[in-house]
Amino acid sequence: MDKTWLITGASSGFGRGLTEKVLARGDRVIATVRRTGSLDDLVAQYGERLSVAYLDVSEPDAVQRTVDKAFADCGRIDFIVSNAGFGILGAAEETSIDQMRQIIDTNLLGSIVVIKAALPHLRAQGSGRVIQVSSEGGQIAYPGFSLYHATKWGIEGFVESLAKEVAPFEIEFMLVEPGPSRTAFIGSIIQPDPISDYDGTPAHDLKEAAFGGGWVIKGDPDRMTNAMIAAADAPKMPFRLLLGSDAYDGVHAALTERLAALEAGKDITISADFTEEELAAM
């Protein structure tokens, strides 16, 4: 049976790739973009099966109107893909308050508002699947990406809690965590004005590698979007879908280190409780 998708940030990268592939197999897509005309070629090819809406997800009222209209027009939407977002690469001290607000309003608050706007409709239709495009950076952290990581760790915590809240309504969630991939992400990254004291430090070293060609990107966005679609179609979606060997290695190392630290501090951690005797006397 043909499915209907609502995909934000569809003008490029994973959003564009997902849009192309699910249209090619016969599904219907409501795609949101920030660049008018960016999907004109697909509209010409697929006609009424593709609806395109201009949307800045950092504008909550516009998000609500767009999501409400999408459900009103389609009657049912099977997949919500919250994908819109961008990166900032630079030391935290270099990042302006306006840049901080912009990335939080888009990546974190924007993603939350998209999902929240869809929930009443998904409850009413009795089911639905929400795919939040996060990042390996929702579980690990690179120097220079502190604001980006703040948004990705934040959206992962939100989704993990929300999934438990709405499970009784047959609403499922998947956090997609791609590692570095050959999309246009690097080219769209905002770079704050540099502070020379950070030259030669990890934050600037990583920036030089990213923009100087020293960072070998193994991730194939075509294979990644294939994996996303296969996971979305599965009888039960995985809650987390990590993509790419570098992502696997990085997250595995981080979780192993975190677990070792947890065990090393176990005695101190447990000592913070009331004793059984004290609890019995309360």
So which residues are the catalytic ones? 134, 148, 152
**181 - beta bridge partners?**
219
Closest CA to 177 of 206, 137, 127, 135: 135
State how far the alpha carbon of 264 is from the alpha carbons of 139, 253, 270, in Å: 21, 16, 12
Closest CA to 131 of 1, 3, 2, 250: 3
CA distance 111 to 173: 13
CB neighbours of 18 closer than 8 A, spacing ≥ 6? 5, 7, 10, 81, 83, 225, 228, 229
Supply 241's token pair: 């879908």
Burial 158-171 (b: 16+ CB within 10 A, else e): bbeebbeebeeeeb
Supply 231's token pair: 């996971």
Phi, psi at 135, each rounded to 5°: -175, 160
CA distance 175 to 97: 28
The owner of tokens 């929300």 is 162
Supply 71's token pair: 């459900």
246: left (phi over 0), alpha (psi -120 to 50) or beta: alpha
CA distance 56 to 5: 18
